[in-house]
Amino acid sequence: MIDIRKTFKTTATYYLIRLFRSQVQDFFTNLGEVSIMSVLTIINLFKGKIKWKEVIYQCYRFGVTSLPITLSIVGMTSVIVATQVASEMVKQGGENFVGMMITMLIIREAGIIMSGFAIISMIGSSLASEVATMRVTEQIDAISVLKVDPIRYLFVPRVLSGMLMMPLIWVLSSLIGVLAGSFASNLASGLSYRAYFDSVWYGIRIYDINVNLLKAVVYGFTIALICCTFGYNAKGGAKGVGIATTKAVVWSFVALVILDMIFAVSFFF
């Protein structure tokens, strides 16, 4: 008589179910680890005892070294949008709203989300691989043996630098995006710089700036925390470093998109 259970275990359906179950378990495990590390990091932030020298170094790493690629990405995004939209708006008689539209796009969404993606790709992956290497080479274990809190030593400076530098990066990238949009609009449609910048002010509100400053702080915290967490929990040698870095980047991208949706619904709906 055929054993139905054994037969079912040889089918592709069974392997798909096992894969789905393992992915769900892995998701909730990682979510729990990130949540625990976020609580511990916040507690250590409020305790003080921050190594400001390390924070300054991480700020340089988080902000200064990533600035060229971040500004380039946001600037090119603005040029792409302005090139395709400005000429059509001028044809329809909407030249007085070109600057406003591009400014709203850059300040509310493109500036912060593109900056976040650039930071994840360049700095986030670096943070994850660095901490993961320390884990697999037992440097973190050595730190613990010396009675040094790994959370305070590794997480706090990196998370704090992300919270401090992300708003500055957003301000600079948004400025570059608005300026690049004016240049592209002039080339694509012949729109004068005066007409562009006159309409820019219609798209800037203090409310938008305050919301996105808060969003930038949350993004900086999230990127640094997720990348450090996956690096901290890495295992399995060099292969484990690669897996941890990949997970950190993927989770950071997804987290930023979810947070962006939450901010959009909460503040602009």
In the chain, % of residues over pLDDT 90: 36
Question: Distance between CA 37 and CA 31 in Å, rounded?
Answer: 10
Q: Tell whether 144 is covered by a domain.
A: yes
Question: Distance between CA 190 and CA 172 in Å, rounded?
Answer: 26
Does residue 121 register a pLDDT over 60?
yes
154-170 pLDDT, tens digit per residue, is: 899 999 999 999 999 99
pLDDT at 259: 93
172-202 pLDDT, tens digit per residue, is: 999 999 999 999 988 888 888 888 888 888 8
Q: Tell whether 135 is covered by a domain.
A: yes
Q: Tell whether 36 is covered by a domain.
A: no
55-80 pLDDT, tens digit per residue, is: 899 999 888 888 888 999 999 999 99
Q: How many domains does the chain have?
A: 1
> What average pLDDT does range 231-252 have in this prediction?
89
Q: Tell whether 21 is covered by a domain.
A: no
Q: Tell whether 35 is covered by a domain.
A: no
Question: Residues 6 or more apart from 175 whose CB is under 8 A from it?
Answer: none
Does residue 96 register a pLDDT over 70?
yes
Q: Tell whether 82 is covered by a domain.
A: yes
Does residue 263 register a pLDDT over 50?
yes
Question: Residues 6 or more apart from 16 whose CB is under 8 A from it?
Answer: none
In the chain, % of residues over pLDDT 70: 96
The answer to whether residues 131 and 231 touch, using CB atoms and an 8 Å cutoff, is: yes
Range of the domain at 63: 50-268
pLDDT at 245: 92
Q: Tell whether 137 is covered by a domain.
A: yes
Give me 155's structure tokens: 């997480």
Q: Tell whether 43 is covered by a domain.
A: no
98-109 pLDDT, tens digit per residue, is: 888 888 889 888
Question: Distance between CA 242 and CA 200 in Å, rounded?
Answer: 44
Q: How many CB atoms lie within 10 A of CB 227?
A: 32
Does residue 261 register a pLDDT over 50?
yes
